[in-house]
Structure 1
């Protein structure tokens, strides 16, 4: 099982010269504060920094604020930096791993670091696309704006995938674990190799058939000793011909490309010169109205110096056009020479043809070469056929083994056991949250409850908790922090709210990291509590200097890398 943990977060506003640093406990964390004190801002920053944008908007928040998040994957620490869509990732030694403003590049690197290999079909069902950070956190974040209802609205943009919620839940609960997707990816690669081998085999069979019709294995079976000198001469002639032909062909291709480039430059120069002539005629026209700026509508005179400079530009352009035409003529001449030389190579081919017509008694040299060549060709064909068949057999065995592994990982028996465990957890959660018992026998992983009134949020919480407990079980794949903001939904009364808080504080898996945003104090103990007291003032002046010393060096590295990257 992979373990992911939030370690530290720094938030900075250069506009306000304020900052906030929060260190997270590996177990239970409570962020306590009234409305507008920054709980949601701090929680949202955890996910936005890593490329998952929660549903909803923040009020009175500096959109250009910087967030640095330290997180760990299986004990290995990383730092993620985010400012207004630009992100960078650093290792524990502050070495830059990636700096980008492109979401796809960031998402790919995040999935590599976390080994998150879930894939979907796109909306058109035409290709396979990888999941992103929002998919990684979706089952483990309950936010105020989109998670407490009967639909999945936690993160923006996740519906760009085709039916993503089922595969996400199956991935984390173990119905379709990472091993399944690794086997699927490997099978896809091996299947392509197998198909390529089969395609080559079919081509080889057709080549053998055509070759057999053209050059049958009949004719003279003689020694080539009488033709040793002719063979040596033939070899020499062919090698010289090939070398010379390749050299001349390369020159001809380069000259053709240069001619095309010069023609394009000449056309551009001619078009620019035509525009200059038209503009110069207008500027010299007597009694013409002054020039008016199309933006600010200011009037500009046409002084003599401007006209003179304009004429000078036209003169330089004319000289350039003339030189380009001279260069083009010279290159065309060289190109024609190269093509003439290629045509002259036919004489070499005629000499080789005459050599093949050489006779020794009743046999021509052509006959001996053809007979020996046919025997060698058929032998080579047979050897190639055996090698391809061996490769095909090995690839078939590999693909079949991977198919069986995928079938075992998603067997009906395994799926049934995981669903039974999930349903039991859901029923137990409903009872603990003081909801009536239900029959879960037909309940699916994606079946979010749709109760109205105060029972709605509690049934949603029981549903999420069943997913978390299943993911933490023996078939689970990832241990990811659970973040709840905020459990007091739809006016829970003085009986139900304590039950909700007790369920969160005591009934959830003890080993997972928990971050809860709450408006009021609670009697239940958390390993670390952070109190947010001032409205619209979550950042503090007294933390600015220390946070700046931590964040600024990484921020400079991120922008230096972006500025040094060549424009594309």
Structure 2
């Protein structure tokens, strides 16, 4: 089991020129602050830095466009992770970039999964198996203020991208089915998919073979090429001659078409120039002033006979050029027509070839021989491809069977019974400790259950479930163990004794060696002398006084982000 430990969280808003820096205690950190002081925004940013966004995010916080840098350890090895919008960058302990990219599902998600050995696979809406985004890794550890005190397994956004995710996620994290089970499941799904693709290809080859044989005429004699040696030689010579002549004519046609395109382009340019010159002459002829000022550049031009005569000369020259170009186009068109006609004159050569093909030796024609040899070659090719596809199908079946055996060996019913019994004992104990008298065992017996309660009992019932599940994970799971992040457990108008009971429970009942980040408005009289982070100012979590300090700390990471 990998262990994730948070060290420090840096928040920076270039838009607001403000920042925040939060250091985590290895054991317990309490985020203490009144409502609307940004306590929840701070807590939501912890796992959001890893690409796991909360189910609800304050619109004002979104508008602030806050970048996050989280420093953490995995089994004692330091890392840093920068998130700027949809861009993520993972760094080692020396600040060297390990990975930089965009997107969560196909980007940072696989990187976090690799780092924390997260091997769960789920089927998406298209039925494709994939390792889900980081939200599914952190799901048991994060209790969001807005939704988690109403419904369990719902802390993050976009969880419904995988239908029915609750059972698989709960079974995986509880250790009912370990990492290796889901890795084998992914291998089996991949092998089954590839096998089905090969089967489709095999059926296509079978249909092609059937169609080719259905349209084939039956020949009841040996197709011996030796009986047509002279005819085959003559056929080859005739085909080579025909090919050479066709190539020559086609090259000529290509050159003629290129030449015609050039002439047409020259013709268009000449027509446009002639129109412009004619318009200029008509303008000068109608103008009575001796001098004309250009409206664009302000240059003064003389409107005398010499200028008019020069324009007439240019018009005549352009017109003569245009006539020549059009004549050239006509000549090229005639040459193109002649070349196309020449292509049609290969009929005689084609007839000679057909004559050679139709020559007989007894009941056999050369055409039959060639068709028979072609069919034989095609049959051999099809059979070879069918054998290769059959071999691939067999290989994928073997992979699928091996993966299925691994899955069966890891689906240990005795161990699963032990895990479920432990969870139920923890749940029964925590329900009693949190005073949820009306929550029956039938309500929470399933490890992926929905907690059904009302009023102030519901948050306490959910808190009992979250801790029972976390204790079960700690004891049995092969999944990574992450910091427990709980936002504002005192919900639904708890009375004073229950409010204190919930805070005390959160602080005292975490598994040994766990890291807790607890957000609350008040400690409700519970004695706590550990690390506290306070949010003091209404509607202002980030501080302008910290902007320069946090900017300096994050600048080296930004530099590597854009390289």
Normalising by the residue count of structure 2, what TM-score does the alignment of the two structures yield?
0.69
For 1:17-32, list aligned pairs within 5 A: 17-32=17-32
In structure 2, the partner of 1:477 is 479
Match of 1:546 among 531, 549, 553: 549
Q: CA deviation at 1:380?
A: 4.5
Per-residue CA deviation, residues 335-384 of structure 1 (Å, 9 max, x unaligned), is 99998898777776555434434566886444544555555554544444
In structure 1, the partner of 2:133 is 132
Query: 2-side partners of 1:132 and 1:242: how far apart?
Result: 62
Larger radius of gyration: 2
8 Å Cα contact 1:29-1:515 kept in structure 2: yes
In structure 2, the partner of 1:289 is none
SS at match of 1:478: coil
RMSD between superposed Cα atoms in Å: 4.7
Match of 1:468 among 463, 467, 470: 470
In structure 2, the partner of 1:564 is none
For 1:76-155, list aligned pairs within 5 A: 78-83=79-84, 85-92=85-92, 93-95=95-97, 97-100=99-102, 105-115=103-113, 116=118, 117-122=120-125, 131-150=132-151, 153-155=154-156
Q: CA deviation at 1:15?
A: 5.1
8 Å Cα contact 2:231-2:356 kept in structure 1: no
In structure 1, the partner of 2:41 is 41
Query: 1-side partners of 2:5 and 2:341: how far apart?
Result: 72
8 Å Cα contact 1:90-1:98 kept in structure 2: yes
Q: CA deviation at 1:484?
A: 0.7
8 Å Cα contact 1:471-1:478 kept in structure 2: no
In structure 2, the partner of 1:290 is none
8 Å Cα contact 1:217-1:375 kept in structure 2: no
In structure 2, the partner of 1:511 is 513
Q: CA deviation at 1:113?
A: 0.9
In structure 1, the partner of 2:279 is none
For 1:302-313, list aligned pairs within 5 A: none
SS at match of 1:224: helix
8 Å Cα contact 2:227-2:361 kept in structure 1: no
SS at match of 2:441: coil
Query: 2-side partners of 1:239 and 1:487: how far apart?
Result: 91
Query: 2-side partners of 1:96 and 1:341: how far apart?
Result: 67
Per-residue CA deviation, residues 283-312 of structure 1 (Å, 9 max, x unaligned), is xxxxxxxxxxxxxxxxxxxxx979xxxxxx
SS at match of 2:44: helix
CA 1:405–1:451: 2 relative to 1, 3 Å:
same
Q: CA deviation at 1:485?
A: 1.2
CA 1:487–1:163: 2 relative to 1, 3 Å:
same
Query: 1-side partners of 2:557 and 2:186: how far apart?
Result: 35
Q: CA deviation at 1:429?
A: 1.8
Q: CA deviation at 1:512?
A: 2.9
Per-residue CA deviation, residues 502-539 of structure 1 (Å, 9 max, x unaligned), is 4333322223332112344553464x443444544543
Query: 1-side partners of 2:392 and 2:168: how far apart?
Result: 34
In structure 2, the partner of 1:319 is none
Query: 1-side partners of 2:82 and 2:449: how far apart?
Result: 36
Q: CA deviation at 1:177?
A: 4.6
For 1:206-355, list aligned pairs within 5 A: 206-212=207-213, 214=216, 216=218, 218-220=220-222, 222=224, 224=226, 227=229, 230=232, 234=236, 237=239, 241=243, 350=351, 352-355=353-356
8 Å Cα contact 2:184-2:406 kept in structure 1: yes
Query: 2-side partners of 1:417 and 1:344: how far apart?
Result: 90
For 1:364-513, list aligned pairs within 5 A: 364-370=365-371, 372-373=373-374, 375-410=376-411, 415-436=416-437, 438-440=440-442, 443-493=445-495, 495-513=497-515
Q: CA deviation at 1:483?
A: 0.2
8 Å Cα contact 1:11-1:65 kept in structure 2: yes
Query: 2-side partners of 1:355 and 1:173: how far apart?
Result: 80
CA 1:48–1:350: 2 relative to 1, 3 Å:
farther
CA 1:165–1:207: 2 relative to 1, 3 Å:
closer
Q: CA deviation at 1:459?
A: 1.5
Aligned residues: 484
Gaps in structure 2 of 5+ consecutive residues:
269-293, 297-321
SS at match of 1:548: helix
Query: 2-side partners of 1:98 and 1:248: how far apart?
Result: 54
Gaps in structure 1 of 5+ consecutive residues:
267-303, 307-321, 562-568
